Amino acid sequence: MTEISQFRFPADIRFGAGARSVLAEFARKYKVIRPLLVTDSGLPQTEAFRLIVEEMNRLWPQGYVQFTGVHPNPTDQDVEDAWVAYSQGGCHGVVGLGGGSALDVAKAMRLKVAFPDMALTEMPLGELPERLAPFCAIPTTAGTGSEVGQSSVITIAALKRKAVFGAAPMMAQLVVLDPELTVGLPAHLTAWTGMDAMTHAIEALVCPVFHPMCDAIALEAIRLVGLYLPRAYSDGTDLESRGMMQVAAAMGAVAFQKDLGAAHSLSHPLSSEFGIQHGLANAICLVPVMKYNREVSAAQYARVAKCFEINTFGMTDLEAADKAIEAVAALNDRIGIPKSLSEVGIKQDQLPMLAGKAFEDPCHSANPRPCTQQDLLTLYEEAYKR
């Protein structure tokens, strides 16, 4: 009780079918005369994009600028290119539309607006102005929770690894959770992004940082994913399950204010080195990491079991933890997650290189059980052969 803890909760969130209409409030409240719409190259072919463009055409008939060059694992060049579009277009604010990649680029690009002469890696994150360029975040997936976070994960091309840029002013001024925008998400992406939210919540729960509010939010996020992800996977038009998955994703991101863990250190190099979608990488690595943490995190995993409506009466924490691990593995199976890294194209002789990259990643420093580079290699080997 002698250590001072800091609690912070995030942005202004509007939730519900048709919530995209609150873009009008964003334009009015923040005096956004000409916004930059940031998304990836695949989104313009979707119904979600059409619905947002329809709204933006109505709100900004004088015009706005589109940047659709975000890559699946966004790079610092994506941020630079988005900033060029913003500055050359005379923009006054940003609308980020898409998954975590588009939202992370939209969020980080505002650092360039504030410090145009600096590279992303040079940004004085501790000395940012109180408010950056106005930003409205509109997710079209339910996984990363980037819309409610104050950080961006960007691959630095020269270093060939992901880096995290985070500060309170980077948070969105307005978040729009409109389940109608996620209806067109394919089943496999629904599964991958949904397990990203699950991984965030589980890793946040067991992270050894005192934050009881985040723990409670993590547990409810786990319950929501377990209940609604199979429904969203099976029927993409189910607005209730789509909406509850958006809520769960946002809650997972709120929870990992605490920090994350080894599953994320394992997944980051899989994305930066081999382009494996982040949520898919997390889903494959989560169960081996839960087994690794089993003894030190048994009490927390016992609570996870209850989120899956498992009757743990009379069980020890370790027995209940095993049930939780089995439930997560069963959920993966139910929604078609590949069982191993070998199934997604990773070769066994690549694992030592990946372990070196994973050890450089800071997330495992918050894992409840410490990890050496050899431990991370062993975890990759477990994920490879599962």
**In a domain? residue 7:** no
Residues in the chain: 386
How far is residue 74's CA from residue 76's CA, in Å, rounded to a whole number? Answer: 7
Output phi, psi for 24, to 5 deg: -60, -40
Question: Is residue 305 a contact partner of residue 327, using CB atoms and an 8 Å limit?
Answer: yes
How far is residue 106's CA from residue 95's CA, in Å, rounded to a whole number? Answer: 7
- Tell whether 92 and 194 lie within a shared domain: no
- Tell whether 197 and 308 lie within a shared domain: yes
DSSP strand pairing (93-98 vs 135-139): parallel
Sheet holding 93-98, edge to edge: 13-15, 174-177, 135-139, 93-98, 35-40, 65-70
Given 182, 201, 233, the domain boundary residue is 182
**In a domain? residue 8:** no
CATH code for position 251: 1.20.1090.10
- Tell whether 378 and 239 lie within a shared domain: yes
How far is residue 158's CA from residue 202's CA, in Å, rounded to a whole number? Answer: 32
- Tell whether 298 and 359 lie within a shared domain: yes
Structure tokens at 141: 């997936």
- Residue ranges making up the domain that contains 50: 13-182
- Tell whether 110 and 237 lie within a shared domain: no
Compute CA 354 distance to the chain's CA centroid, rounded to the nearest angstrom. 21
DSSP strand pairing (174-177 vs 135-139): parallel
Between CA 260 and CA 265, with CA 264 as vertex, the angle to 5 degrees is: 110
- Tell whether 267 and 349 lie within a shared domain: yes
Distances (CA, A) of 322 to 15, 176, 318: 35, 37, 6
- Tell whether 242 and 176 lie within a shared domain: no
**In a domain? residue 239:** yes
**In a domain? residue 1:** no
- Tell whether 211 and 341 lie within a shared domain: yes
Domain count across the chain: 2
Taking alpha carbons only, the member of 217, 243, 247 closest to residue 231 is: 243
- Tell whether 216 and 168 lie within a shared domain: no
How far is residue 53's CA from residue 311's CA, in Å, rounded to a whole number? Answer: 48
Given 156, 182, 208, the domain boundary residue is 182
pLDDT at position 140 is: 95
- Tell whether 147 and 215 lie within a shared domain: no
Q: Residues with Cβ < 8 Å from 342, sequence gap 6 or more? A: 348, 384, 385
Given 149, 182, 215, the domain boundary residue is 182
**In a domain? residue 223:** yes
| The pTM of the whole model exceeds 0.85 | yes
CATH code for position 80: 3.40.50.1970
Where the chain has pLDDT below 50, the residues are none
Q: Residues with Cβ < 8 Å from 353, sequence gap 6 or more? A: 273
| Per-residue pLDDT reduced to its tens digit, 128-184 | 998 899 999 999 999 989 999 888 989 888 887 788 888 999 999 999 999 999 998
Output phi, psi for 66, to 5 deg: -110, 135
pLDDT at position 4 is: 63
**In a domain? residue 262:** yes
